Amino acid sequence: MKRYASLAFIGLLCSFGLSAQVANDDCFGATPLGTLGTPAACPSGIGAVSTFNNLTNVNSVTEQPYTTLINCQPSNNTPMASPATDVWFSFVNSGNELNITINGNIVDPNIAVYQGNCNGLIGRGCAIGSGNTLTANFDQMVPGQTYYIQVSGGAPADQGTFTMTLQNVNSCNDCLLASNLTVNPAPTNGTYQGGTTVTFCYTITQWDQQNTNWLHAVIPNFGSGWDMSTLTNLTGAATCDGGPGVWQWFNNVNTPNGNGILTGFFFDGDIVQGGPNGNPTDNFGDNCQGTVNWTFCWTITANTCPPGQTGDDLGIIIDTYGDGETGNWTNIACVSDPVYQFNSQLTCCVIPQMVQNNPLCNGGTGSATVTGMGVGPWDYVWEDASSTVIQTNTGVQGSSTANNLPAGTYTVTVTDNNDGCVVTQTITITEPTAIQLTMGSTPAACGNNNGTATCTPSGGAGGYIYQWDPAANNQTTPTASNLGSGLYQVTVTDANGCSATAAVNVGSSGGVTDVTNATVETCANACDGTATVVVNGGQGPYVIQWSPNANNQTTPTATNLCPGTYTVTYTDANNCTGTNTVTVTGPAAITSNIAAAPTTICIGQNTTMTANAAGGAGGPYGFAWLPAGTGNTASVTVAPVVTTTYTVTVTDANNCSTTQTITITVNPALNVQAVANPTSVCSGQPTTLTAVGGGGNGGPYTYTWAPAGTGSGVTVNVSPTQTTTYTVTIDDNCTTPTATAVVTVTVNPLPAVAFSGTPLQGCAPLPVTFTNLSAPANNPTCLWDFGDGSPVSNNCNPTHIYTQVGCFDVTLTYTDDNGCVNTVTMQNYVCTFPVAVADFSASPQPTTIFNPTISFTDLSLNATAWTWYFGVPALDSSFVQNPSFTFVGEDGGCYDVVLMANNASNCPDIDTMEVCIDPEFTVYFPNAFTPNGDLKNDGFTGYGTGILKFEIWIFDRWGNLLYYSDDIYKPWDGKVQGKSGEICQEDVYVWKAVVTDIFEKKHKYIGHVTLIK
């Protein structure tokens, strides 16, 4: 990484003569030098040189505290002179590098460059010259940003005039072209107090890939004054290429090109290799070009004092690395790029003591007192939240108090004039919230002193005390009661003695009166009377409530009232009430009745109805009958054919009326139902016919059945031979017309029953499938008897397994959809035969390949023929009852031996047994071989059986290893292993072998073999 560089100055020299020195002893009085010349476009990148003559630090003040930086160029480990007589300048930057030269009468020029503002300068680096000259370079400057330059000698007495040149340059060969660092909080006079926590965010804004060099790592290097255990909030940048990779913090990453082990932000995963895998060294990096926005943040805390000491390094140097598009970071790119330098140091000043007094009431003022700690004297500078200085005390041997402070945040900067320690403290003056009074009241209702006034306070310090004015009888509660109408005032005081005053008006209302009236009911029971109330006085609107016998009506006039007394209650808006009663009257009621003889008749008979009336307004009375056409006289004769209700309306002289009703009941028409049980029978079965009648005069009824001869009465029994319809007639022996009903009895034939089965003969157990061949039906019922004593089956097409030996009768009982049942039986329909039982033994078992012949003994039952299979293809069958068989194979094995036993009924059985021939372990080695390529004895190895693992080593007579193999099937070809040379000379060679048998037992052998060409 490029730390510092010195460039020859090329370009236009701009000269500024500053003959009059301004008061630039500190940052706030810095002399503005304007905007530097913009660098030329690449490949030059050189900007104009700005020259400033006749500058001086003569008679400048050595301020206390003195702003200083450490780690200065060119050695990078030397601090600036402190204190010294310094002067300050400001300029607006135009490029990403800055070159500074100083020549003149200052013996050892010192300079420092800062960004930010004078209240929070951020050190960007410093340089120390000698021999009246200084040359320095500063990288990663931000175009358009204002910077400050501090110039001094190497001691307070090192003063003189000087010339300073400034030149901006744009690098044309670097990958990193522009970056910036934000610091919160900024250092004070280039220092941080011990224990200060600082958040840094480093942003890269311009990157040139320079032959596809992708950004791969950002490494902050921390000065010794930082507490590395507090490094937190490590936030990587958002990926620039939009790919699957991520920026993350990695510890101890091994890097190439001699860059060692690095800890910092690394890119993991990329658009070529895919997503992150926890290894930042196997990808290309983040692929971006030109204007970018990579931001990396972290938070860290300075060491506390102790162990930290004043002057400890709190600088940070930020390196960047690219990947030379290797994909595995075997070649770090952009290694000559500039670094970003942040300069600061630790100060261990004693924290002043702070005491504050907050205001007691909202809107009041408080005070704060700060006492410097140490030797003193101290300077105190007080500032409000807008950084406006509100009080300054200098050279104070003691404390400083700021009075009349409204609520807010204040800072005080304490400078110890003895040792230059500067400490800034923050204090917040708080005030209680203002007392707020919420007022309410209820009016003095109905002209009485029953009003109230209520005060509800909030804010302040609580513990409220209430004081109402004399008009409210000096009451001291939140609610003043028993008040007449008027304005009342209350004062509320909180626990801090802060008070607030408010007033509320209590209203008033007068009483209420009424006027009532009623109308008379027109006719008895018409209930059309009314009652009215008119309310006067009080405060409208009025709420009116009539008594329940007026249906709780709520209007001034209650309607639809019957004769009686009604109560009305009315209430005004002030809840003043009144009550009164109203009486409604009406005429007497008309009385009437109706008589008839008889009131119940049969269809075809008549009767006479007579109405009588009295009361009301008297006669003459009018009569009107309903239904229409019945008549309009007191007596009428009617002959209804159905039960009818007649209504007569009687009207008196006032046209008031009453109604009466009478019902003439007419016996209903006769009805009858005929029922057969069952309605469907099989041929030859009986059924019962039943008549169910009703209507007419209720009986007793006469029932007559047809066809002739069927019989009479409620029930008759018949046994028809064919489907027949029967008719029944009912009569009530009155004038009611007769009624009839019919019922049909259906006669069904018996079903035809048949079936078949297959197979009908076979070996037991024998499954037989039966098929029902009976007359078709939708939902038939089948019942099978298989003749072997097994349970019956109701499956119409069953399969039955005969396990017994013999011949069996089969019976099917079949019921069709009409419930008609028929049965058929087949004699000796199914016959079954006995089955042979296969069984055998084998000897010897187990055995080995040295005795592979096994004898088999038949143990079968009911067998007359035997077929053997020994599990060896082409050699494995025999038809002998008790055979022997030799199993051939040098490795042995297990075989499935099968015996199929059969009998005269051809009902066979099979039995299977596994026999095993165990292998034997053997091994031997030849004592000579001829590797001459004739395909005869061309290699040397071991031979044998039962071998699980094989290893062999071959040595010459001097013990040199010539050949090794762990494969018995790869013999030694006579050559030195791994070389393509000639076959070894004729000689006797030593071999060593380790052989593991199939029982995992190791055997070691050593021998000689002769190689013959």
Q: Tell whether 152 and 35 lie within a shared domain.
A: yes
Please compute the mean of the pLDDT values over residues 868-878 and round it to a whole number. 81
Mind listing the pLDDT tens digit for each residue in 389-421? Answer: 999 999 899 899 999 999 999 999 888 887 667
- Cα distances from 206 to residues 47, 140, 657, in angstroms, run 19, 10, 110
Q: Tell whether 214 and 235 lie within a shared domain.
A: yes
Evaluated on CA atoms 647, 651, 657, 658, the torsion sign reads negative
Q: Tell whether 391 and 377 lie within a shared domain.
A: yes
Mind listing the pLDDT tens digit for each residue in 42-80? Answer: 888 898 999 999 999 998 877 766 778 888 888 777 888
Structural domain includes residue 179: no
Closest to 728 (Cα-Cα) out of 689, 688, 695: 689
Sorting pLDDT into bands at 50, 70 and 90, what band is 970? very high
pLDDT value at position 11?
30
The most confident of 74-78, 172-176, 373-377, 559-563, by mean pLDDT: 559-563
Please compute the mean of the pLDDT values over residues 298-315 and round it to a whole number. 90
Structural domain includes residue 729: yes
**Residue at a domain's end among 395, 429, 463:** 429
DSSP string over 238-258: PPSS-SS-EEEEEEEEEETTT
pLDDT at 14 over 70: no
pLDDT at 15 over 60: no
Please compute the mean of the pLDDT values over residues 523-542 and round it to a whole number. 84
Q: Which two tokens stand for residue 73?
A: 């160029």
Closest to 167 (Cα-Cα) out of 141, 193, 198, 204: 141
Pairing of strands 687-694, 600-601: unpaired
Q: Which of 272-276, 442-446, 846-850, 915-919 has the lowest mean pLDDT?
A: 272-276
CATH code of the domain containing 445: 2.60.40.1080
Q: Tell whether 914 and 931 lie within a shared domain.
A: no
The answer for residues whose C-beta is within 8 angstroms of residue 75's C-beta and 6 or more apart is none
Please compute the mean of the pLDDT values over residues 679-705 and round it to a whole number. 89
Q: Tell whether 212 and 255 lie within a shared domain.
A: yes
pLDDT at 937 over 90: yes
The answer for residues whose C-beta is within 8 angstroms of residue 406's C-beta and 6 or more apart is 359, 365, 429, 431
Q: How far apart are CA 881 and CA 892, in angstroms?
A: 26
pLDDT at 798 over 80: yes
Angle, vertex CA 636, rays to CA 631 and CA 637, nearest 5: 120
Structural domain includes residue 182: no
Mind listing the pLDDT tens digit for each residue in 658-677? Answer: 899 999 999 999 999 999 99
Q: How far apart are CA 237 and CA 65, in angstroms?
A: 38
Sorting pLDDT into bands at 50, 70 and 90, what band is 327? low
Q: How far apart are CA 710 and CA 728, in angstroms?
A: 10
Into how many domains does the chain fold?
A: 10
The larger pLDDT score, comparing residue 154 to residue 524, is at 154
Please compute the mean of the pLDDT values over residues 749-768 and round it to a whole number. 92
Q: How does DSSP classify residue 445?
A: G
The answer for residues whose C-beta is within 8 angstroms of residue 483's C-beta and 6 or more apart is 444, 449, 450, 451, 452, 453, 472, 506
Mind listing the pLDDT tens digit for each residue in 576-603? Answer: 888 989 888 888 888 888 988 888 888 8
Q: Tell whether 934 and 914 lie within a shared domain.
A: no
CATH code of the domain containing 717: 2.60.40.10
CB count in 10 Å sphere of residue 135: 19
Please compute the mean of the pLDDT values over residues 684-694 and round it to a whole number. 90
pLDDT value at position 23?
67
Sorting pLDDT into bands at 50, 70 and 90, what band is 2? very low
Q: Are 265 and 217 in contact (CB under 8 A)?
A: yes
Structural domain includes residue 6: no
Sorting pLDDT into bands at 50, 70 and 90, what band is 10? very low
Q: Tell whether 383 and 449 lie within a shared domain.
A: no
Q: How does DSSP classify residue 305?
A: T
Q: Which two tokens stand for residue 137?
A: 């370079």
Structural domain includes residue 166: yes
Structural domain includes residue 629: yes
Q: How far apart are CA 647 and CA 626, in angstroms?
A: 5
Q: Tell whether 660 and 689 lie within a shared domain.
A: no
Q: How far apart are CA 383 and CA 393, in angstroms?
A: 12
DSSP string over 690-709: EEEEE-TT----EEEEESTT
Q: Which of 105-119, 186-200, 793-807 has the lowest mean pLDDT?
A: 186-200
Q: Tell whether 20 and 168 lie within a shared domain.
A: yes
pLDDT value at position 6?
28
Q: How does DSSP classify residue 20?
A: S
Mind listing the pLDDT tens digit for each residue in 589-640? Answer: 888 889 888 888 888 888 999 988 888 777 888 889 999 888 888 888 898 9
Q: What is the pTM of this model?
A: 0.41
Structural domain includes residue 353: no
The larger pLDDT score, comparing residue 547 to residue 326, is at 547
Structural domain includes residue 555: yes
Q: Are 158 and 31 in contact (CB under 8 A)?
A: no
The larger pLDDT score, comparing residue 873 to residue 379, is at 379
**Residue at a domain's end among 429, 453, 468:** 429
DSSP string over 337-349: -B-EEEB-EEE-P
Residue ranges making up the domain that contains 219 = 191-347
pLDDT at 821 over 80: yes
**Residue at a domain's end among 556, 584, 612:** 584
The larger pLDDT score, comparing residue 878 to residue 10, is at 878
For the chain, give the mean pLDDT. 87
Closest to 343 (Cα-Cα) out of 384, 370, 299, 313: 313
CATH code of the domain containing 275: 2.60.40
Q: Tell whether 166 and 19 lie within a shared domain.
A: yes
Burial of residue 546 (number of CB atoms within 10 Å: 0-12, 13-18, 19+): buried
3-state SS class at 472: helix
Q: Tell whether 269 and 338 lie within a shared domain.
A: yes
CB count in 10 Å sphere of residue 885: 21
Q: Tell whether 255 and 318 lie within a shared domain.
A: yes
Please compute the mean of the pLDDT values over residues 781-789 and round it to a whole number. 94
Q: Which of 109-118, 170-179, 792-801 has the lowest mean pLDDT?
A: 170-179
pLDDT value at position 825?
94
Strand (E) or helix (H) holding 217: strand 214-222
